[in-house]
Chain A
Amino acid sequence: MINRTVKDVAQATEGVQDGMTLMVGGFGLSGIPENSIAQLVKLGVTDLTCISNNAGVDDFGLGLLLQKKQIKKMISSYVGENDEFERQMLSGELEVELIPQGTLAERCRAAQAGIPAFYTPAGYGTEVAEGKEERSFDGKPHILEKAFKADFAFVKAWKGDEAGNLIFKGTARNFNPVMCGAATITVAEVEELVPAGELDPNQIHIPGIFVKRIFQGERYEKRIEQRTTRKRA
Chain B
Amino acid sequence: MLTKEQIAQRISKEVKDGYYVNLGIGIPTLVANYVPEGIDVEFQSENGVLGMGPFPFEGEEDPDIINAGKQTITTLPGASFFDSATSFGMIRGQHVDLTILGAMEVAENGDIANWKIPGKMVKGMGGAMDLVASAENIIVAMMHTNRAGASKLLKQCTLPLTGVNCITKVVTNMAVLEITDRGFKLLERAPGVSVEDIKAATEGTLIVEGEIPEMNF
- Listed in ascending order, the chain A residues whose CB lies under 8 Å from chain B are 27-31, 53, 76-81, 86, 89, 96, 98-106, 108-109, 120-128, 158, 168-178, 205, 222-232
Contact = CB atoms under 8 A, between A and B. Distances in A.
A139 to B, nearest CB: 12
A173 B81 contact: yes
A5 to B, nearest CB: 23
Nearest to B45: A171
Given A27-B47, A126-B160, A106 B85 contact: yes
A27 B92 contact: no
A125 B54 contact: no
Contacts of B70: 27-30, 81, 225-226
A80 B70 CA distance: 11
Contact of B55 (A30, A86, A109, A230): A230
What 3 A-B pairs are tightest by C-beta distance, nearest first? A102-B88, A102-B130, A125-B164
5 contacts: A99-B125, A105-B83, A122-B130, A171-B47, A173-B83
Chain B interface SS verdict (over half): loop
Contact of B84 (A27, A120, A158): A27
- For chain B, give the interface size range: 35 or more
B160 to A, nearest CB: 5
Nearest to B91: A102
Contacts of A178: 83-85
A102 B127 contact: yes
Given A27-B48, A98-B125, A122 B66 contact: no
Given A123-B133, A170-B62, A229-B61, A76 B124 contact: yes
Most buried by B among A78, A101, A109: A101
B122 interface: yes
A171 B91 contact: no
A128 B71 CA distance: 28
B159 to A, nearest CB: 11
Nearest to A121: B133
Chain A interface mostly? loop
Given A30-B63, A103-B130, A126-B162, 15 more contacts: A27-B70, A78-B124, A89-B122, A96-B122, A100-B127, A102-B91, A104-B84, A105-B88, A122-B129, A158-B64, A224-B66, A225-B70, A228-B72, A229-B56, A230-B58
Contacts of B18: none
A230 to B, nearest CB: 5
Interface in B41-75: 45-49, 54-73
Contacts of B87: 102, 105
A223 B62 CA distance: 10
B183 interface: no
Given A101-B130, A125-B161, A227-B61, A171 B66 contact: yes
A86 B54 CA distance: 32
B140 to A, nearest CB: 16
Given A77-B126, A89-B122, A228-B72, A101 B46 contact: yes
Given A102-B91, A170-B64, A174-B47, A230 B57 contact: yes
A99 B162 CA distance: 11
A165 to B, nearest CB: 15
B47 A78 contact: no
B58 A120 contact: no
Given A100-B130, A102-B88, A222-B63, A174 B125 contact: no
Contacts of A28: 47, 66, 70
Nearest to B111: A125
A31 B47 CA distance: 11
Given A77-B124, A176-B83, A228 B73 contact: yes
B84 A105 contact: yes
Given A105-B88, A226-B70, A231-B58, A31 B64 contact: yes
